[in-house]
Structure 1
Amino acid sequence: MEKFTLNFVADIFEQQLTEQQRNLSIHHIYTDSRQSVEGGLFIPIVGDRFDAHDFISGAIEQGAVAALWSRTEKPDDIPEDFPLIYVDDTLKALQELAKVYRQELNPTVIGVTGSNGKTTTKELIASCLSVKYKTAKTEGNLNNHIGLPLTILRMERDVEVLVAEMGMSAFGEIELLSLIGRPNHAVITNIGESHIEFLGSREGIAKAKLEITAGLQKQGQLIIDGDEPLLTSDSYPNKIYCGFNSKNDYRVEAYVQGQEQSDVTINGTTFTLPLLGKHQALNAAFAIAVSELMNVNINQAAEQLETVIIPGMRFEKIETKEGALLINDAYNASATSMIASLDVVKKMDYQRKVAVLADILELGDFAEEAHKKVGQSLDEQFDAIFTFGTSSRFILDGLPATFSGKQKHFTSKQELIEEIASLLDENTVVLFKGSRSMKLEEIIEAIY
C-alpha cells in the first residue's frame, strides 16, 4: 500500500525533482539494503563501522526507487534518473520524515517505556485496543532512535492507534523518542536497575524514563506504577496510578497463579491471564487503564487479555523429549525481572526446580550488589542454581546460608549443557534467565 509519493519527501527536504520522479509511489521506508521491497525509499544510515551509502546498488536491485543521500557526489554505478534526496544527515532526516508522517496521519499514539515489561505491556495494550481501532505496534526490537521512526513509517495510512515502545540506555534518548512520536498518552511500567551503569542510580533511571513526558501532548495522561515512589513523586500533573495498594486508580485486587495461567482481579473484574507472575497482573492493569482512556471498557479489555500472545523468549515454555519443562525467559534481564521470574517458578508444581542464571549486564559498579540481591531471593524451593558468565557468580555468594541445593558457576556452555541434561525428567522445570547477549537460547537449543 502506498504511504506517500516522493513529492511528500521532496517537499520536506526542499528538493527539486522531475515531475516523473515526484509522482513515484513509496510503499516501504527502510535502512537495510538486503531487504527485498517494492517501491522502497532507502535511507542509508552511517554507523561507527559502516556506511550504508556503499550499498546503494544492492538496494536498487532489491526494489529501491529512491534514496535519501548525505554524500555530495552521486555514484557512477546507479541509473542516471534514480532520484536522490540530498540531506545533511540521513539519520536525522529519517527522524524528521517520521515526525511529519506521524503528524499527517495523526493516530493516537500510546508511548510505553520502563525498565522491564515494555514489550509485554505494549502487546497487551495493542490487543485490547484492536477491538475498536485499527492498531499498529512496535515489532521486534524497533524501539530506539532508528527503530521508532521506522515503526512510525511502517504505519498504513488508515491506522488509528500506534502503540510505540520506547527504549533507552542513556539520558536524552527517551526525550528524543518522545519528541518524534508525540504520544497522546504514555506508560512507565516500572523502575528497575537496567542501564544503571550509565544512569548512576535508580533515581537516574526514573529521571530518564520520565523524559517520555517531553513530547507528551497537552492533557496527555501518564500511566505509572503507583507503588513506585520514584514515579509517584514526579510533578507531572496528569497521572493514572496502577498497582497493588488500595490508593491506586487501577488496583490488582487478587492474583492466583496456576500452572499455565493466572486468575486476576482488577477493579472488581476477574479474568484469566495466559501469563504467570504478579508483574504480569500489573502489566494487565496498565493495559486496562489505557483501554478505558480510549473508550474500550474493562470487560472488552479483559476478554482480549485472556487470549493475548506474547513474543518468544519471554517465559516461553518448551517441553524436552524427557518430559522436562524448559522456560526460556532469556530475552533480557535485570535483577528485578530475574527475581520476578524466579518467584513464578517457586509456585510451579514440579518436584525439581532448577535455575540457570547468566550475567545481568550494564550494571557497572552495581554488578556485585545486584547479582547478590538475586541470590538473596532464592530459597530451598530450588534444587539447583547454575550460574553462567562472569558477574553471575555473585548470585551464589548471595544465597542464604540455609540454601541446601546444588550450586555451581560455569564459564563453559558445553559443561553447563551436560550438567542440565543429566537432571531432565518429567518432574523437572528449568528456568533460563540472563541478558540478551549471553545467548542462553543456545543452551536451550542444544538440550531439546
Structure 2
Amino acid sequence: MFTVKELAPLFSKGNGATNDPIQIKSVMTDTRMEKKQSLFIPLVGDNHDAHRFIMDAIKNGAVAALWQKDHDLPREIPTEFPVFIVEDTLQALQETSSFYLRKVNPIVIGITGSNGKTTTKDITASVLQVKYRTHKTAGNFNNHVGMPLTILSMPPETEAAVLEMGMSGPGEISLLSKLARPQHVMITNIGESHIEYLGSREGIAKAKLEILDGWHDGCFIFDGDEELLASCYNKPNALACGFEEQCDTVIRDTLLEENRSEFVINNKQYKLLLSGKHNVKNASYVITLAEKMGLTFEEIQAGLNQLQMSGMRYEKHAGKEGSLIINDAYNASPTSMRATIEMVAQLTSKQTKVLILGDMFELGSHADQLHKEVAEAVTEDIDAVYTIGEHAAYIAEGIKEQKHNIELKHFEDKSSLGHHVSRRLNSDTVVLIKASRGMKLEVLLNDLLDE
C-alpha cells in the first residue's frame, strides 16, 4: 500500500519512527482481528472509543497508528512505534484514503440512488473487470467510514474503483464525492428512502445530486424516466437511461422471465441473469458507462454473464417440502418493495405465491401512508400476505381496501410467523421475505429452509 514515511507529509505531528520506510499493507479499525503490517486507526463512536485498544492493535500486527490529540498516549507504547497525532481520527481516515486513492490512481465510478445502487455496483464491477482490474465496495461499506475503508482495501494494481455512496442526510454524498473525485457518476433512481430526514422526494433528489460535487471529466448517467431529474438533461456529459423515448439510452423489447431478462439497447440484444424492469434499467446504466469506457458488446455481455450479487438481495433458497424461499431482507423502501413484489407475481415455476413483508425504516411521518401504498403492487397473482411490524400492518390494510381474495394475517412476533408459513409450504410455493435490515427477518430462514 504505502509506507509510514509517506504519511509524514499528511500528518506533521508524531512520535516514534514516523519518517522510517516501514511498509503498511492494510488498515486496522477492529483490534480483535489480526492484521499484519497494518495502520491502526482508532475511531470514536457514541458508545465506543478504540484508542483504549492500542496495545491489542500492536499485538495483532499494527506497525503504526493515528492518534487523536485529545487522548493521552499510553506509556507502554514502544518508543519507536510510529504514532501520528491528528485532530480527529475519522477525518484522518478520510484523508489517508484520499491520499491512497491518488497514489493508485484508478478510474473512479461513483454510484448513488435511493434503490438499486448496490445491484448497479455489482453489475458495474462484473462488466468492468472483463477489461480492467476492478475493486468495488464490499457489502454496505458506503458511508463516511465505510467508503474510506473500501478505498484503503484496494489492491495497488487496481485500474477501476466502483464506489457506492450512501447517505442518511444532506451533505453526506457531497463529502464522499469530494473525497473520491469520481470520473464517472450514476444516480440509479429517486425513491423514498431517508424521507424522514430529507422531507420530500425533491429533498432526496437534491441530496443525490450532491454526487456531482466531486465529479470531473467523465459522464453523468441518470434515470431519464424520473421527472425530478429532468433538469439533468441540460448538464454537460449527462446521459439519461430509461424506457422513455427522450432518453439517450432507450431500453426496448424487454422480455422478463423468472431468472433472467432480455432487452435491446442500441440495436443490440443483451441478456441479464436477473429479472425485473428495475434491474434492466440498472443494467442500462452500466452498459452506457461501459460503452463510453471502450468495452465492446461481447465484453459487456461476458461481464453480465459472470454477475455475482451481494448477499441477501433476492437470494433464492431451497425451502421445506420443495418450496422456493426468496430472501430479500437486506433493505427495503416502498419503491424496491413494490418492484420485488411485481417480480414474484411474474414467477411461473411456482403457482402459490406468499409474501412476508416487514417494516421499512426512515420514512418518518410518511411511514404509514407509504406502507399502505405498497398494496398497489399486490395483485390477485399473490395468494397470501403476512405482515410483521408496526407500520407493515398498513400494507395489509391497503390490500383489504382493494378487496382481493388474498389471505391476510398480521403477526406480532417472528416465531409465530415462521411456524405459520412453514406449515403451508409445498413444492408449488414461493415465499418472498422483504423488509428493512433492522427487522432482521432473515431469521425466518431457520423455519423455512430445507435442512
Query: Which TM-score tier does this pair reach, normalised by the shorter chain?
Result: over 0.9
For normalisation by structure 1, the TM-score amounts to 0.96
| Structure 1 residue 79, shift from structure 2 partner | 2.1
Contact 1:197 1:364 in 2 (8 A): yes
How far, CA to CA, are the matches of 1:320 and 1:77 in structure 2?
A: 55
For normalisation by structure 2, the TM-score amounts to 0.96
Contact 1:195 1:363 in 2 (8 A): yes
Q: Secondary structure at the match of 2:262?
A: strand
1:185 maps to 184
Task: Write the letter of the residue equivalent to 1:404.
Answer: N
| Structure 1 residue 60, shift from structure 2 partner | 1.1
Task: Write the letter of the residue equivalent to 1:445.
Answer: N
User: Bigger CA drift: 185-194 or 367-376?
Assistant: 367-376
Q: Secondary structure at the match of 1:187?
A: strand
How far, CA to CA, are the matches of 2:100 and 2:330 in structure 1?
A: 31
Q: Secondary structure at the match of 1:233?
A: helix
Query: Residues 19, 369 of structure 1: CA spacing in aligned structure 2 closer, same or farther, 3 A cutoff?
Result: closer
Task: Write the letter of the residue equivalent to 2:7.
Answer: V
| Structure 1 residue 81, shift from structure 2 partner | 2.1
Query: Residues 402, 68 of structure 1: CA spacing in aligned structure 2 closer, same or farther, 3 A cutoff?
Result: same
How far, CA to CA, are the matches of 1:194 and 1:82 in structure 2?
A: 45
User: Bigger CA drift: 164-173 or 29-38?
Assistant: 29-38
1:363 maps to 363
2:411 maps to 410
| Structure 1 residue 78, shift from structure 2 partner | 2.5
| Structure 1 residue 203, shift from structure 2 partner | 0.4
How far, CA to CA, are the matches of 2:219 and 2:435 in structure 1?
A: 33
How far, CA to CA, are the matches of 1:401 and 1:120 in structure 2?
A: 32
| Structure 1 residue 33, shift from structure 2 partner | 1.4
Matches of residues 115-126 of structure 1 in structure 2 within 5 Å? 115-126=114-125
RMSD over aligned Cα, in angstroms? 1.4
| Structure 1 residue 241, shift from structure 2 partner | 0.8
2:392 maps to 392
| Structure 1 residue 307, shift from structure 2 partner | 2.4
1:420 maps to 421
Does 2:48 align with 1:50?
A: yes
- The superposition leaves residues 178-200 of structure 1 with CA deviations (integer Å, 9 ceiling, x where unpaired) of 01000001000000000000000
Matches of residues 37-76 of structure 1 in structure 2 within 5 Å? 37-71=35-69, 72-76=71-75
Task: Write the letter of the residue equivalent to 1:29.
Answer: V
Does 2:430 align with 1:435?
A: no
Q: Secondary structure at the match of 1:11?
A: coil
| Structure 1 residue 306, shift from structure 2 partner | 2.1
- The superposition leaves residues 212-254 of structure 1 with CA deviations (integer Å, 9 ceiling, x where unpaired) of 000001x331100100011122453321011111222222112
User: Bigger CA drift: 243-252 or 409-418?
Assistant: 243-252
| Structure 1 residue 21, shift from structure 2 partner | 5.6
How far, CA to CA, are the matches of 1:17 and 1:360 in structure 2?
A: 48
Contact 2:13 2:86 in 1 (8 A): no
How far, CA to CA, are the matches of 2:434 and 2:266 in structure 1?
A: 32
Task: Write the letter of the residue equivalent to 2:60.
Answer: Q
Regions of 4+ moved over 4 Å = 16-21
Q: Secondary structure at the match of 2:320?
A: coil
Matches of residues 2-401 of structure 1 in structure 2 within 5 Å? 3-15=1-13, 22-71=20-69, 72-217=71-216, 219-234=217-232, 236-349=235-348, 350-399=350-399, 400-401=401-402
Listed as ranges, the gaps of 5+ residues in structure 2 are: none
Question: How many equivalent pairs are there?
Answer: 445
Task: Write the letter of the residue equivalent to 2:196.
Answer: E
User: Bigger CA drift: 135-144 or 68-77?
Assistant: 68-77
How far, CA to CA, are the matches of 1:12 and 1:366 in structure 2?
A: 45
Instruction: Give the % identical residues.
Output: 47
Task: Write the letter of the residue equivalent to 1:362.
Answer: E
| Structure 1 residue 320, shift from structure 2 partner | 1.4
Listed as ranges, the gaps of 5+ residues in structure 1 are: none
